[in-house]
């Protein structure tokens, strides 16, 4: 069964300035795409979206900032297995 269009897309909860790309942003994009690829292998078509939020999404991250992500899955979630 093919996945719906947009499955597993990484989005930002806040939009940043157009063209504000530096080496750190490029590395963050690489990390997020590798993370998303791994999640797609685990969840398949159940993975609806990966949302970046927090300081990284707002381009306010410091060198020691973490990366905040939210996963949106289709269907019921078994908290004993998936949380």
- The per-residue pLDDT for range 32-42, each reduced to its tens digit, is 999 999 999 99
Q: Is residue 1 one of the residues assigned to a domain?
A: no
Q: Is residue 44 one of the residues assigned to a domain?
A: yes
**HSE of 23, CA atoms in CB hemisphere, 13 A:** 1
Q: Is residue 60 one of the residues assigned to a domain?
A: yes
Q: Is residue 2 one of the residues assigned to a domain?
A: no
Is the per-residue pLDDT at 7 higher than 60?
A: no
Rounded to an integer, the average pLDDT of 30-55 is 93
Q: Is residue 4 one of the residues assigned to a domain?
A: no
Q: Count up the domains in the chain and report the number.
A: 1
Q: What is the mean pLDDT of the chain?
A: 81
Which structural domain, as residue segments, surrounds residue 67?
9-82
Q: Is residue 22 one of the residues assigned to a domain?
A: yes
Q: Is residue 50 one of the residues assigned to a domain?
A: yes
- Residue 41: helix, strand or coil by DSSP? helix
């Amino acid at each position: 069964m093919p996945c719906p269009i947009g499955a597993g897309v990484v989005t930002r909860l806040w939009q940043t300035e157009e063209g504000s790309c530096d080496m750190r942003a490029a590395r963050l994009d690489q990390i997020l795409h590798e993370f998303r690829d791994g999640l797609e292998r685990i969840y398949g078509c159940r993975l609806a979206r990966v949302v970046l939020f927090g300081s990284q999404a707002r381009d306010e991250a410091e060198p020691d900032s973490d990366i905040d992500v939210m996963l949106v899955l289709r269907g019921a979630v078994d908290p004993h297995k998936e949380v």
